[in-house]
Structure 1
Amino acid sequence: MSIYISGSLAYDRIMNFPDKFSNHILPDKLHILNVCFLVNDLEERFGGTAGNIAYSLALLDEEATILATAGSDFERYQKWLTKHGIRQDGIQVVQDSPTASAYITTDHSDNQITAFNPGAMNVSTNGQFTEFNTRSGLAIVSPGNLEDMQKYPEIYREKGIPFIFDPGQNIPAFSGAQLTSMIQGSRILIANDYELSLIMEATGLDKNGLLDLCSAIVTTLGEEGCIVTDRNSEQRIPAVKVKDAQDPTGCGDAFRSGLIKGLRTDKDLPEAAKLGATCASFCVEHKGTQEHRFTVDQFWDRYASAYK
């Protein structure tokens, strides 16, 4: 089965501020805010929704095709993808823009200030990847270029490729009519509980109304697990407990990787969600979205232990 992932590729540049932001911001001067935070260090990590999902799928021995744009500084990320055996023939390099990047500064209270530069992500792939396997394919439309997020559901419907629709943080960028159109015909709509409420508010549809558009809804709840809903049932799937949680960033993308692994191996949706929770548990044990490691045997051992 061919797996297609549209979304973003980005460099995450992470900095630590050795104090609290609140000690350097005067509440009565917010209308003329002008602050400078001297940070201790700068770490560059590989990220972006498409890159994160493809990375964990590679750990699960699954080959996926990334459909995204990257910039002129993509070489470091390209070497990382090559190292992990991730296909790049669906990635288009935009030479006059940098790869998307997030600049994240965290203080001693774990408050964060983030600046995001979309860079090459502003450029659509135009759906130009032409090697879609219509006989055996599975796709996910994750947050990335806004045009691509509207275009790929159309392509997958036309080609008969089952797809997961995952609008994430880009929900506010679309009208209710646009969201309705993108969800239409999807195998799964996936969102956290807050995002799902935004979708319902924008579209004017409750869960039953959304299930007229898609086959199932997966609502992620962080450390509380997730809820799998279809026309016939609603089932809560518990999260996999870990001894030392370090960072939830990227766990949602890891969850999606495990979910896709389950669907690709013909598991039903609740069981696939358990694989998603298992994959997410490895990610939460590390800081960063592509810093976790596991063997396939370690994955299945943890899955069996968590859901025996």
Structure 2
Amino acid sequence: MTQNKTALICGSLAFDKIMQYHGRFGEALLADQLHKVNVSFLVPTLRTEYGGCSANVAYNLNMLGGDPLIMATIGQDGGEYMERFAQLGIETRAIRKIASAYTAQCFVTADLDGNQINAFHPGAMEHSQELYAGDVGQVAIAIIGPDGREGMVKHAADCAALGIPFMFDPGQQLPRFDGAELIRFIDQATYLAANDYEFELLMDRTGLTLPEIASRLEALIVTRGAQGSEIYAGGERHLIPAVTAEKVVDPTGCGDAYRAGLLYGITEGFDWPTTGRLASLMGALKIAHQGGQNHAFTRDEIATRFHAAFGYAF
């Protein structure tokens, strides 16, 4: 009997609209007039990127040869995204179209100094609580990433009730939850993944220490950028080295690529050092490319790079 290795990916689906302003915001904003701002920026360049945490994770897990199943909401304008999933061979049966809303979209305007002015429209993402993990069939693991607030709460409760082990990955949505809610997530989850800033905020909100949080989970994963990452599991602390990227182009989606490596390692039964190293490699491969889903590697190419970085095969 073939072992079920399907990973349920709960999180946002979004379009990212990236605009470049060829000046400096500071030159257009008057310090003594910020109470009545009325400015316009000419943006000669505009590109649209496929984004959203669930899609980014699924894209990378699919690249590894895993079996991602996205559970998310998409808007009336999501036809092109659905066609893309079909071309990639990513299962879409758990994606629901919300005809009355647009797909979540982030509008990013950057200036010559790298400063950004962002506007985020959640759109269909705010309907994610209408989805139910029990409707998707058998899965081996789930990840609950940034999504509509109520959807994240519901998916965690549903996975816990259904006995589905899941990774809690609050990301940029973490500030929307209070301490009691975050403790409930931790107690329901099997794994928790956060970057170092998010984890400091998590400890501050919950009043729990790192050892206290780790003791409630099978594994706690804290990423620290170029300093690598740490995995706390079974009373042990595994230091995971960062993989040197060929070049540093765009960090967008690097955390999602890392989490795809974690999910693959867990479903394949790898030990934590190997799982963490694969996750680290996936982040390094992504950062060398613009956008969250423009890097493309075969599983064999990833395996070759893993061997070159760590001296053994996964």
Say yes or no: TM over 0.5: yes
CA contact (8 A) 2:128 2:150 kept: yes
CA–CA separation in structure 2 for the residues paired with 1:236 and 1:108: 37
**Cα RMSD over matched residues?**
1.4
Is 1:26 the counterpart of 2:30? The answer is yes
Is 1:91 the counterpart of 2:95? The answer is yes
CA contact (8 A) 2:13 2:51 kept: yes
Identify the match of residue 105 of structure 1 among 85, 103, 109: 109
- Which is worse superposed, 268-277 or 225-234? 225-234
Structure 1's consecutive aligned runs of 4 or more residues displaced over 2 angstroms after TM superposition are 124-134
CA contact (8 A) 1:7 1:50 kept: yes
- Which is worse superposed, 230-239 or 295-304? 230-239
CA contact (8 A) 1:16 1:107 kept: yes
What letter corresponds to residue 43 of structure 2 in structure 1?
V
Once the two structures are superposed, residues 45-91 of structure 1 have per-residue CA deviations (whole angstroms, 9 ceiling, x without a partner) of 11000010011111111121111111000001111111101111111
Q: Describe how 1:1-308 pairs up with structure 2 within 5 A.
A: 1-134=5-138, 137-308=140-311
- Which is worse superposed, 229-238 or 97-106? 229-238
In the TM superposition, residue 132 of structure 1 has moved relative to its aligned partner by: 4.7
SS of 1:98's equivalent in the other structure is coil
SS of 1:70's equivalent in the other structure is strand
Once the two structures are superposed, residues 239-273 of structure 1 have per-residue CA deviations (whole angstroms, 9 ceiling, x without a partner) of 11022111111100000011111111101222111
CA contact (8 A) 2:72 2:131 kept: no
CA–CA separation in structure 1 for the residues paired with 2:273 and 2:108: 34
CA contact (8 A) 1:165 1:182 kept: yes
SS of 1:211's equivalent in the other structure is helix
SS of 2:134's equivalent in the other structure is coil
CA contact (8 A) 1:180 1:213 kept: no
CA–CA separation in structure 2 for the residues paired with 1:127 and 1:214: 25
CA contact (8 A) 1:92 1:125 kept: no
Which structure 1 residue ranges, 5 or more long, are not aligned?
Answer: none
SS of 1:123's equivalent in the other structure is helix
SS of 2:184's equivalent in the other structure is helix
What letter corresponds to residue 298 of structure 1 in structure 2?
E
